[in-house]
Each structure stands twice: as structure tokens, then as C-alpha cells.
Amino acid sequence: MTKVTLDAGLRVTLPTVAEPAELCDCSGKTVGHYLPEDEYRRLLYARAKELFTDEEIERRRRKPNSGRTLQDIWARLGRPCDTP
């Protein structure tokens, strides 16, 4: 995700916007859309729920961990685990 730094005017305006908003340039052309944090999280979680059923989540939760620890991976690479 790209991060955009807001100028002082938008930093004052956006927190007061309580619903999704269309962002336009000076000519009126749409350049993007703004979602308040609560709305963004709601949509994000709704999307995640569409991708995975409750049954799939529970099945994966019960599946034994077949992965390796970071320490094991570092050891295989020949580096101590405290080395970046």
C-alpha cells in the first residue's frame, strides 16, 4: 500500500469526514477515494470473511503446526538467530 502525506489543510479536514469521500483534483477529476478508519476496517474484515469460511478457519486452527522456528531457519542458513 502506498502512503500519502497530507498537507495541513487535509489533516484538518479528513478527520471530520465521517463517511466515504471522493477525492478530486482542481479540475474535478477523481484521483481516489477516502474511507474513514472504522469503515476501512469494517470492509477489510468483511472481505476476509468472504475469503474464509468459519469451518476453514477452524480446520486450520486444529491443524498441527508443520512449520519451523526462526531459530531453526537461521541454523540451517548457518547464521546465529540473533544476527540480522
Using alpha carbons only, what angle is made at residue 57 by residues 46 and 73, rounded to the nearest 5 degrees?
A: 110
Cα–Cα nearest to 35, from 18, 16, 12: 18
Confidence of residue 46 (pLDDT cuts 50, 70, 90): very high
Instruction: State the average pLDDT over residues 53-57.
Output: 88
Instruction: State the average pLDDT over residues 49-56.
Output: 88
Q: Tell me the pLDDT tens digit for each residue of 74-83.
A: 888 887 666 5
Is residue 27 predicted with pLDDT exceeding 90? yes
Type of residue at 10: L
pTM of this prediction?
Answer: 0.52
